[in-house]
Structure 1
Amino acid sequence: MPDGEAWADATAMLEDGTEDVLVTNEMPFGLWHPTRHMFNVDRAREWANLHERSLDALSRLPVRSVISSRPILSGNRLVNEAFAPVDSQYHFLHQKHYFPAENGWQEQAWFETAKEGFDVAAVAGVTVGVLLCTELMFPEKARWLGQLGADLIAVPRATGTDHRMWRTAASMAAIVSGAYVVSSNRVGQYDAAAPNFGGGGIVVDADGQEVAMANRHQPAVRVGIDKALSAAAKSKYPVYVR
């Protein structure tokens, strides 16, 4: 929730105000609702409203910008929209295109895509692209963002306790794009119907080397984005291959 003791603890690490960009997990506020196949419009509206109220809390964090995502009601479903509040202004970044459909992650029944496309945007002096959770499994999208000039691919996610595929996918996304890949994940299990989210934030540099993983002892990881390294990586194999 965007207030109270838990929020204060989670954001206390930012008090020195030296970060340019904070990457959060996917739709970070409230419970995780798409655990069952049947879409529930009341729960969807409550979840969307909570994230709408949370925009103010995110914009007041002592960082230049935040990259996050939120559910927004759209027709008879939700959209999962990545955004960045910059100087208290809301900047649209991307809407999720690929949705799993299995126990715990019945997103196909809950979400649609209203704004298509994968693009980059300038955020706090960095060229950023976003892949939302499952989209990391499609390296052609990371490659496309790299061709558009992305220095950073942010990957908010909500995944389980097995990190093997996600670490591999993050490294592959960096290898084919020449961009840094930074992913943040949910933690914990809220009830028996919900997945057990496994944390494990991942940081991969523009050469595809995993440089850090978050864990319960180090829940936040800082990394410097070297735009010269990203530019150089785009001239190397396999990024330059057309």
Structure 2
Amino acid sequence: MRVAIMECPEGLVADSHAWDVIARAIHEAEPDVLVTDEMPFGMWLARTDAFDPVRAAASVAAHEAGLEALRRLNVPVVLSSRPVNASGSGQLVNEAFALVQGSYRFAHHKHYFPAEPGWHETSWFAPGKPGFDVVDAGAFGVGFLLCTELFFNEWARHYGRRGACLIAAPRATGESIDAWLTAGSMAAIVSGCFVASSNRVGRVLSGPTFGGGGFAFAPDGTLIASTSANEPVIAFDMDPACSVEQQKRYPCYVPEIADRGHC
């Protein structure tokens, strides 16, 4: 099956000209699976360090409209995230989800948040439901590592040992991507999964500059696809059987330590 990754402009609005350009590129790639960037619609909220309920509501609404735009792509599986209102906390939750034949499947709530200029996510978001569960996407299992979570390799390994063959890593990251490439490769190596990541691109007014640079790694950690300004959408072939075989090999087969207190 073909998996598409992409880089999307900051402030993307569903059914705008910019969206039409991206949608055409996605159709031309003819993917079976699309991995978007992190919370792809609307303005980047975490550019400021004070929670604003008006801006939060606008972002939720932008992603509600975006959800319908994603459905209209008619891609069999879409893997993405969106802000939703958190119960009782007064903050938002960053919710990963899968659209499988248009049907919404909850996947994961982001747990790890940066707190620095341009990425004041702790002011805006809180963890909601606990857990890093494998989601049934039809012909394969998928796990999510949302942006910063990609640096926590224990969860990549966790997904691989629970039968995922793809780790989706939607991002909203800056201009330097070297560390992210390393993290993506390591996530593939320790899990035996394909790893696919998409990112935003462009500058936020009084905020960060997003660097684009979507990437995909094979289960052995080899880079197999990357986006660019000239190719903002690119697709690669994913065979779940390759992941199953890689998970039998080193280092994936190495057993976990039952009692870490004796390390």
Residue of structure 2 equivalent to 1:118: 132
Instruction: State how far apart, in whole Å, the 2-side matches of 1:37 and 1:12 are.
Output: 36
Please point out which of 217, 221, 224 is paired with 2:237: 224
1:149 aligns with 2:149: no
Please point out which of 51, 70, 80 is paired with 1:39: 51
Please point out which of 173, 187, 195 is paired with 1:173: 187
Give ranges in structure 2 of 5+ residues lacking alignment: 1-12, 256-263
Please point out which of 109, 115, 118 is paired with 1:101: 115
Moved over 6 A (4+): none
Contact 1:69 1:82 (C-alpha < 8 Å) held by counterparts: yes
Instruction: State how far apart, in whole Å, the 2-side matches of 1:170 and 1:187 are.
Output: 18
Residue of structure 1 equivalent to 2:249: 236
Instruction: State how far apart, in whole Å, the 2-side matches of 1:124 and 1:223 are.
Output: 18
Instruction: State how far apart, in whole Å, the 2-side matches of 1:68 and 1:202 are.
Output: 15
Please list the CA deviations of residues 103-145 of structure 1 after superposition, one character each: whole Å capped at 9, or x if unmatched: 0000011101110100111214121100000000000010000
Q: What SS is found at the alignment partner of 1:186?
A: strand
Instruction: State how far apart, in whole Å, the 1-side matches of 2:204 and 2:30 are.
Output: 33
Contact 1:71 1:81 (C-alpha < 8 Å) held by counterparts: yes
Contact 1:20 1:124 (C-alpha < 8 Å) held by counterparts: no
1:85 aligns with 2:99: yes
Contact 1:59 1:65 (C-alpha < 8 Å) held by counterparts: no
Shift of the 114–135 alpha-carbon distance from structure 1 to 2, 3 Å rule, reads same
1:52 CA drift (Å)? 1.3
The sequence identity of aligned pairs, in percent, is 49
Instruction: State how far apart, in whole Å, the 1-side matches of 2:103 and 2:250 are.
Output: 38
1:186 aligns with 2:200: yes
Residue of structure 2 equivalent to 1:205: 218
Q: Report the count of equivalent residues.
A: 241
Q: What letter matches 1:115 in structure 2?
A: K
Q: What letter matches 1:165 in structure 2?
A: A
1:54 CA drift (Å)? 1.6
1:58 CA drift (Å)? 0.7
Residue of structure 1 equivalent to 2:152: 138
Query: Larger RCO: Structure 1 or Structure 2 (Cα < 8 Å, ≥ 6 residues apart)?
Result: 2
Give ranges in structure 1 of 5+ residues lacking alignment: none
Shift of the 204–40 alpha-carbon distance from structure 1 to 2, 3 Å rule, reads same
Q: What letter matches 1:149 in structure 2?
A: G
Q: What SS is found at the alignment partner of 2:113?
A: coil
Contact 1:48 1:72 (C-alpha < 8 Å) held by counterparts: yes
1:14 CA drift (Å)? 2.9
Contact 2:133 2:159 (C-alpha < 8 Å) held by counterparts: yes
TM (norm. structure 1) is: 0.97
TM (norm. structure 2) is: 0.89
1:50 CA drift (Å)? 1.2
1:69 aligns with 2:81: yes
Q: What letter matches 1:131 in structure 2?
A: L
Shift of the 8–124 alpha-carbon distance from structure 1 to 2, 3 Å rule, reads farther
1:17 CA drift (Å)? 7.7
Q: What SS is found at the alignment partner of 2:47?
A: coil
1:16 CA drift (Å)? 5.1
1:87 CA drift (Å)? 2.3
